[in-house]
Amino acid sequence: MLQHPAGSTRLATLVLAHGAGAPMDSPYMELLAAHLLSEGLSVLRFEFPYMAERRNGGRKRPPNPMPRLEEAFRQQLDGVAGPALLGGKSMGGRVASHILEHSDALGAIAFGYPFHPPGKPERLRTEHLQQQGKPILIVQGTRDPFGREHEVAGYGLADSVEVRWLHDGEHDLRPTKASGRSQEDLIAAAAVEAGLFARRLLRQ
């Protein structure tokens, strides 16, 4: 599903992958894509094989092994003309970060990176982020159980990895009622960060 922003200004194409449990047209992904388009990014959404099979067969399936997820992501990137970014929600962002180094993409954006499973901080998924040479932006809610600010500060991430924290957001960027903000407010803020990141890379 490829969408272009209104008007003639297009920064780059963001190949955007879904998370582990919901498809490319979930309410979260629809909102995120809409706000990314408003930032001037073209957005190419796709589904990993297990999710496409779930859509066709109706039965819930677990994610494919990482090599198959990476292969599916690369196939989408191969069809993009012009400057490209990789990105995704949660697991999708993790896959994007894995294939970035050996791709032609300018950089990658992870919306809610799963640094570790909730409640299991010892099971880190950060080794490749400590050695990453190409730019990665991670937009993370401060209440995200997959990686909170005080934890991430000690991970020794590479200088090419920048983390932007959205106050009071959890993994789906839902804030508390007391914050006075909505999920869409935080998704819009995440899209703004993505747009700034893309502009910065295109200027380099």
Per-residue pLDDT tens digits for 14-49: 999 999 999 999 999 999 999 999 999 999 999 999
Identify whether the C-beta of residue 17 lies closer than 8 Å to the C-beta of residue 92: yes
The answer to whether 153 and 128 have CB atoms below 8 angstroms apart is no
pTM reported for the whole predicted model:
0.94
pLDDT reported for residue 97 = 97
Sign of CA dihedral 27, 28, 32, 33: negative
pLDDT of amino acid 8: 65
Contact 47, 76 (CB under 8 A): no
CA 203 to chain centre: 22
CA 130 to chain centre: 18
Residues lower than pLDDT 70 in the chain: 8
For residue 194, what pLDDT is reported?
98
Which pLDDT belongs to residue 4?
87
The CATH code for residues 2-203 is 3.40.50.1820
Return the pLDDT at 55. Answer: 83
With b for 16 or more beta-carbon neighbours within 10 A and e for fewer, the 93-109 pattern comes to bbbbbbbbeebebbbbb
* Per-residue pLDDT, 49: 95
**What would you report as the CA-atom Rg of the chain, rounded to the nearest whole angstrom?**
16
For the chain, domain boundaries? 2-203
